[in-house]
Amino acid sequence: MTRQLPDFSALRRNLLRWFDHAGRDLPWRQGPEGGRDPYRVWVAEILLQQTQVSRGLHYYQRFLDTFPTVEALAAAPQDAVLKAWEGCGYYARARNLHRAAGLVVAQGWPQTYDGWLALPGVGPYTAAAVSSLSLNEPRAVNDGNVRRVLSRLLAEAQPSEKWVQAQADALLAPERPAAWNEALMDLGATVCTPKAPTCDRCPVRAHCAALALGRPTDYPAPKVRAAVREVRAVALLIGTPDCAVLEKRDGTLLGGLSGLPSEVLGENEPPAEALARLCARLNATPGPLLGTVGHTMTHRRITLEVYRAEADAPCQQVAQAALSRLDHKALALGRMPGLFGL
């Protein structure tokens, strides 16, 4: 049963007071409250989606070093953008960010939430985050951290997207929307963490229904995860791990990235048949199996058998290509001692 928050103003006051001295010092929090640099905030919100900030900071800094301004990003070729995104996964985000940068350079920065929402790859969460943090627009963010904190504050075990947004909108501190959003994100990331919330040092513990019930981690109830589809494929390493034959991938998942030539197995198809098909396509002579690597992305778990092969085909410098983690793992098989004179 959802409880009503007893006192919004005291809750807001306590959280904002805590944020003013304990808020995180993050590289995109440059500029005054509500007037952050839109480019830095935007890149952070896109790049760090579904990634812990501590894990993503290195990637964020590398991307900003490569493209310090929206103009530099817009002017870059897509291959360079994907290379700078390497390791972050979800490459459709990088392609959309690149396209949107072109629009921003042509039209100027959006001046409202709706303006942000109109850009490719910007959904309600990102539009609320960037418009509140850089324009001080009163828009409440709704991400995993906010969902967890609100679910616990109100002891709502099954919070729907609509429910979370409605509560977040009602709670938003109207006089300090940017600080409020940053504060709620920081509380979820550093205090009200998924498995071990530190309620004894929580600034809003007096308002927390889940704590009053003595069971904070029961909220929210675990989500039912979508089934993961198993995909099996074979790939060829022609050349060396540093200079190999690469192909451009297409599709939404890895589109635009380069990778080892590969072939997906049909249902119940033995790897040998897919290998023969792949070799015929490339006019390649298959060699020994180097090993098998696995990688999970979104709702797919990919198992890739990697074979050495010979073919009369041009190799590319691997270090200059944008590759998925799966392909980096596959190339690492070729670096095992005894192969290629290593």
Which residues are near ligand SF4 by CB under 6 A? 149, 152-153, 191-192, 197, 199, 202, 204-205, 208, 210-211, 216
In the complex, least distance from residue 222 CB atom to ligand SF4, rounded to whole angstroms: 16
Q: What is the nearest approach in angstroms of ligand SF4 to the Cβ of residue 154?
A: 10
Measured between alpha carbons, how far apart are the two ends of the chain, in Å?
Answer: 63
**Nearer Cβ to ligand SF4 (196/227):** 196
* Cβ(228)–Cβ(237) below 8 Å: no
In sequence order, the 6+-apart residues with CB closer than 8 A to the CB of 10 are 206, 207
Contact 5, 11 (CB under 8 A): yes
Dihedral of alpha carbons 171, 175, 177, 179, sign: negative
For residue 37, what are the CA distances in angstroms to 15, 27, 123, 135, 138?
24, 10, 19, 9, 17
Q: Is 161 a catalytic residue?
A: no
Q: Which of 45, 182, 263, 305 is catalytic?
A: 45
Q: Which is nearer to ligand SF4, 194 or 255 (CB)?
A: 194
Distance in Å, CB of 188 to ligand SF4, minimum? 8
Least distance between ligand SF4 and beta carbon 49 (Å):
22
Q: Locate 340 and state its tokens.
A: 């290629």
Rounded distance between C-alpha atoms, residue 152 and residue 265, angstroms: 45
What DSSP string runs through 29-66?
A: --SSTT---HHHHHHHHHHTTTS-HHHHHHHHHHHHHH
User: What residues are annotated to the active site?
Assistant: 45
